[in-house]
Structure 1
Amino acid sequence: MTRLIAQSPVREPKVHKGRTVTTSRSSNIEAFLAQMVGTEHATDPCTHFASSSGVFAQCVTVTGLFLGSCAKCHYGSEGARCSFPVVEVGNSDRLSPAPNRPSQAPIHRHRCNASMSSSPSVMSSSPSSMSSSLSGTHHHRRAPVRLARYARRLEERF
């Protein structure tokens, strides 16, 4: 997450209408940040993106992160569903096809009260208000702290 926070935002994350971004998992926050700083694949998205499922309306990757999966698939710790090639851990020069991706253990899913609709602009609002709109109330206390820290860093840049 540190690497994502260190980069300057290049776009506003687009969320499908009627969907919300939950911040109950660090992978969701990472995916949200990656949507802001990564490379968009508008002409050649992953197959999961092409099916129009998921929270985000853009297929975005960040080189060297998420084992090669896009941020949309990384959301919810579901990077294994991404059709982009897998970058093997410890050997970034070798690629293997997506079906060889190591399986992930099932994770208990829950939602917090945090939400972000597609109508308000994240980039036009102040970073501190972005942090407060994403923080929500839930039993994971580190996510709001990380967002608050990220919001402070954004305020320093703008």
Structure 2
Amino acid sequence: MASNTSSFTLGRSANAQAEVAEHVGEEMSPPCIHCNKGSGPFAGKPCVVVDGHLGGGCAGCHYNSSGTRCSFRAVDLTAVDEGDCGESGGRAKRMAHEPLGGKPSAPALRRKGKNALKKG
């Protein structure tokens, strides 16, 4: 069954974005895993994606800033062109460019005592 949009919290920007995306996006077939289970605010409506927006996730998963759960988003991260960090440029998109099994980062410095890192 379709959700009643009057109960939506459109005051949150992610929710307003998801509502607009639901109306203008491209219907995905098959739907993402979450929408396929009938979950989300748009249950009963098509699972839609707007190319280049919502971090690659569908509108239903993006609602309430929950886009990271969308199975389309994981696919989108591996398909990012080199040098293109998308609209948000977030850490997850940047990490898509990093090779797996790369060099480990240097260990963090730890303080051992009140003045351990101060120069004397």
TM-score (norm 1): 0.44
1:81 and 2:51 equivalent?
no
* Amino acid aligned to 1:61: V
Aligned residues: 80
* Amino acid aligned to 1:52: G
Match of 2:41 in 1: 55
- Structure with larger RCO (C-alpha < 8 A, sep 6+): 1
Question: Against the structure 1 CA distance between its residues 50 and 21, is the aligned structure 2 distance closer, same or farther, given a 3 Å change threshold?
Answer: same
RMSD: 2.7
Match of 1:155 in 2: none
Question: Against the structure 1 CA distance between its residues 55 and 93, is the aligned structure 2 distance closer, same or farther, given a 3 Å change threshold?
Answer: same
* Counterpart among 35, 38, 42 of residue 22 in structure 2: 35
Match of 1:68 in 2: 56
**Identity rate, percent:** 41
* Amino acid aligned to 1:36: H
Q: What's the offset of the Cα at 1:33?
A: 0.4
CA offsets, 1:70-123, max 9 Å, x none?
A: 0110000000100011337xx8326xxxxxx94xxxxxxxxxxxxxxxxxxxxx
